[in-house]
Amino acid sequence: MKEINGGVCAAKGFFANGIHAGIRKNKDKYDLALIVSEKPAAAAGCYTQNLVKGAPLWVTKKNISDGVAQAIVCNSGNANTCNSDGIEVAKKMCSIVAENTYIKPEDVIVASTGVIGLPLDPKPIADAMPALVAGLNEKGSSDAAYAIMTTDTVRKEIAFEFEIGGKTCHIGGIAKGSGMIHPNMATMLVFITTDVCITSEMLQKALSADIKDTFNMISVDGDTSTNDMVTVLANGMAENKTIDSENSEFKMFAEALNKVTTTLCRRIAKDGEGATKLLECNVSGAASDTDAKTVAKSVICSTLFKAAMFGADANWGRILCAIGYAGINLDVTKVDVSLSSRVGKIDVCKNGSGVDFDEDTAKSILSEDEIIIYIELNAGSYAATAWGCDLTYDYIKINGDYRT
Amino acid sequence: MKEINGGVCAAKGFFANGIHAGIRKNKDKYDLALIVSEKPAAAAGCYTQNLVKGAPLWVTKKNISDGVAQAIVCNSGNANTCNSDGIEVAKKMCSIVAENTYIKPEDVIVASTGVIGLPLDPKPIADAMPALVAGLNEKGSSDAAYAIMTTDTVRKEIAFEFEIGGKTCHIGGIAKGSGMIHPNMATMLVFITTDVCITSEMLQKALSADIKDTFNMISVDGDTSTNDMVTVLANGMAENKTIDSENSEFKMFAEALNKVTTTLCRRIAKDGEGATKLLECNVSGAASDTDAKTVAKSVICSTLFKAAMFGADANWGRILCAIGYAGINLDVTKVDVSLSSRVGKIDVCKNGSGVDFDEDTAKSILSEDEIIIYIELNAGSYAATAWGCDLTYDYIKINGDYRT
């Protein structure tokens, strides 16, 4: 499997574009993205578990319930959430795409991110759509990735090439991470495209299995958005034999999918609001998969631990503390903890108690921008990884200081 | 019931003192507190649910298992947690108290707060104990309250006088809130004394019931400490008829206890690390007590909401978001939200959607230092209150910048 350029346009038959439609006031910032497939594609999606769900999620769920979609339209600047006319506007966005293309409105995936509780006017979207469609092209992934960003500081795109049954296949994705504009809340959006030939059932199976180890293992601030959405479109243009069971080809596809999702997860975590560091927590020796995941998430979500990482402070007591309140059964006197980065690795805790370590070495390890925390529970053979970021002054600035 | 001075010495027969023993380097800061009762007292305690527990908690649990205690010794500057000799040192602290008083070592409650994972040397405690005991006095509550503080900015003391069966009774407490010194974690300690005559069983019953609505409903940063402890000593010197069942006197005592705990809760939340504001979340119309508590805690714990409150930003979408991911079943289209402080009250959300409100009014309401969030779920008749604080630059400074 090799990394390639092209993002969501890396797979055959996918075109994308991004534009400033006028949903945002800042004319330099794109706010409307469109991704289309030449052919109708197998579609799969996963959505926020928040009871408060953005209107676009309901419409998307319905539209891909037949396992088919052909386009993705997404605006930033307004979440179209908690609005009484939300569903109507989300459907209107699908109709606008349909009116300007050969695609049926019920084959459109719709997503929104931005201000919550303010009505979304579909007029700028309707006005901009002809130009957006006219500009669709094979190199449009970056413009689409830019259009879905809110307070993200970098575009998040990735693509891989791999082979299934002698056919060259491609998979790529774009994502927006946890960003914020007033009065908004973080939303993670991920759109993945592939030319692999796979049934929508198997596509959904692969995606649903994958997110448990990837997107569900990220945390920037512990707040689950109302508009989170991950979708995959597979248009079959690689012409491999259709994947319709959990065979070896399915495993190859799942592996490629995982390369895309893991890469995007790391980038989303690293670009968390105000973040200066990517934190990766590797838990091993757990009694179950759930235990491993629970501990990894608990550490990654600890406000105190995140603040310590910002200060490059080897405050391992906060890690033990977060393990202790994670809610699993565990003999804490067996826990070992090490801290690592590209410049080295040190043990800080053995059998639940502190070990002597060199503070200068610890400081230099934790001053890097990617930190790995290894936790060995010595209670079994399960492992899990979670990703997060440090908690910084800029997080407070972005989220508290917006209007002061 | 009337508020009085005296803290833990307000009740008859209680004496306290605080001193600099040398556990902390800063000679201006007291680090050792002692509270004693003239007579052995009925004792009750509640402890952290963190699997990683400070050694003093194990020793205290054992010492009050017979329902009796007569003294409380507490140091700050070292949590005596994750140390291989922790239990031994905690027991030694009890022996040191016993050697200098008429009190049995097994009647001593011991607590510690501060650095985790560093051995606690009992020598300075032994050396300081004679002076600490000699200085015990009826006005010593403030010195004891000062000695248990870490990064708290204010002492937390309260006392009330009330009547049971014609006898004047007193109850008072001191607390330390969520403070931090490197490499430490937040610990909440609360010591309450009363001269009410009550069996240890009923005392434990009153305390266990009370903390569900009080201390368990506070959050500063979501991190459950390894050393949290709340204890009550009741020495019976008010000479009321012994409370030995859930009669009307028990209810009167529980009410007085609740006045103390609620007051301390509010003060702990308001003095959370870096906090500039007390946040109180009042949930009503819940389908169950658990639902009400879960929603109130979810909102109070939301990092995004806390940051918005720091910025006096009426970002009600973050409240809806936190309700939505709280994990209860709910029709979110029925939720109403209002924001309030001493200068006024405004509705911001009705039936799950935004209502027009004046931004200037909202700003002035949220610029006060005590904010109340009213959430009506319109799903039943249960209510709950949670307390927290805003998330500020100073929180990051205290917890991330300690050594940079």
What's the average model confidence in pLDDT over A191-212? 90
Residues 43-72 of A with CB under 8 A from B: 49-53
Instruction: Please state, in angstroms and as integers, the Cα–Cα distance from residue A314 to each residue in A310, A348, A366, B190, following that order.
Output: 10, 8, 7, 29
Please give the pLDDT value at position B402: 44
pLDDT above 70 as % of chain B: 95
What is the rounded distance in angstroms from the CA atom of residue A386 to the CA atom of residue A388? 7
The pLDDT value given to residue B214:
81
**How is residue B227 written in tokens?**
């050393």
Range name among A82-96, B178-192, B220-234 with the lowest pLDDT average: B178-192
Band of the pLDDT at B274, cuts 50, 70, 90?
confident
Give pLDDT, residue A402.
Answer: 44
> What is the pLDDT averaged over residues A232-252?
93
Which of B304, B333, B350, B397 to mutate: most A Cβ within 10 Å? Answer: B304
Q: A312: which 2 tokens?
A: 């490059």
Does position A49 have pLDDT exceeding 80, yes or no?
A: no
d(CA A32, CA A131): 11
Interface test with B, best of A47, A49, A50, A52 (most B CBs within 10 A): A52
Report the C-alpha gap between A147 and A155 in whole angstroms: 9
Distance from CA of A118 to the nearest CA of B (A): 7
Q: Please identify which residue in the block is written with the tokens 């700003």.
A: B363
Q: Do B182 and A315 touch (CB under 8 A)?
A: yes
- The residue to which tokens 């940079």 are assigned: B404
Choice among A187, A194, A214, A231 that is catalytic: A187
Q: Is A187 on the interface with B (CB under 8 A)?
A: no
Residue of B68, B70, B236, B67 whose CA lies nearest to B165: B236
* Residues with Cβ within 8 Å of residue B198, at least 6 apart in sequence: B42, B206, B234, B236, B242, B243, B244, B250, B253
Query: A168 catalytic, yes or no?
Result: no
* Ramachandran category for residue B397: left, alpha or beta (phi over 0 → left; psi -120 to 50 → alpha): alpha
Q: In the predicted model, what is the mean pLDDT of residues B158-172? A: 92
Residues A213-235, mean pLDDT to the nearest whole number: 77
Contact B50 A221 (CB under 8 A): no
ipTM of the predicted structure? 0.78
Instruction: Sort A299 into a burial class: Cβ within 10 Å, 0-12 / 13-18 / 19+.
Output: buried
Give the span between the Cα atoms of B144 and B141, in whole angstroms.
Answer: 5
Q: In sequence order, what are the residues at sequence separation of 6 or more whose Cβ sits closer than 8 angstroms to the Cβ of residue A164?
A: A196, A238, A240, A243, A249, A252, A253
Surface of B (363-382) touching A: CB under 8 A = 363
The answer to whether B395 contacts A307, with C-beta atoms less than 8 Å apart, is yes
pLDDT in tens, B367-400: 999 999 999 999 999 999 998 898 888 888 877 7
Are B302 and A223 a contacting pair at CB < 8 A?
A: yes
Q: Per residue in B207-219, pLDDT tens?
A: 888 888 887 787 7
List the single residue in A51, A117, A392 with the smallest CB-CB distance to B353.
A117
> How distant, in Å, are the alpha carbons of A292, A322, A352, B224 from that of A327?
11, 9, 17, 11
CA distance B273 to B399: 9
How far CA B266 is from CA of A400, B172, B206, B269, B275, in Å, comes to 22, 15, 20, 5, 12
- Between CA B82 and CA B92, with CA B87 as vertex, the angle to 5 degrees is 130
Instruction: Spell out which residues of chain A touch residue B297, defining contact as CB-CB under 8 Å.
Output: none
Cβ–Cβ gap A325/B83 under 8 Å: no
Which entry of B81, B113, B187, B385 is annotated as an active-site residue?
Answer: B187
A391 with A301: CB under 8 angstroms?
no
pTM for the structure as a whole: 0.81
For A93-103, what is the mean pLDDT?
Answer: 97
Name the band, by pLDDT with cuts 50, 70 and 90, for residue A185: very low
Q: Pick the residue of B58, B320, B377 with the most A CBs within 10 A to test the interface with A by mutation.
A: B320
One-letter amino acid identity for B204? Answer: Q
Express each pLDDT in B99-146 by its tens digit. Answer: 999 999 999 999 998 877 788 999 999 999 999 999 999 999 999 999
Task: Say whether B82 and A324 touch across the interface (CB within 8 A).
Answer: no
Torsional class of B222: left (φ above 0), alpha (ψ -120 to 50), beta (otherwise): left
Interface of A with B in 316-355 (CB under 8 A): 316-318, 320-325, 330, 332, 349, 352-354
Q: Do A353 and B392 touch (CB under 8 A)?
A: no
CB B28 within 8 A of CB B58: no
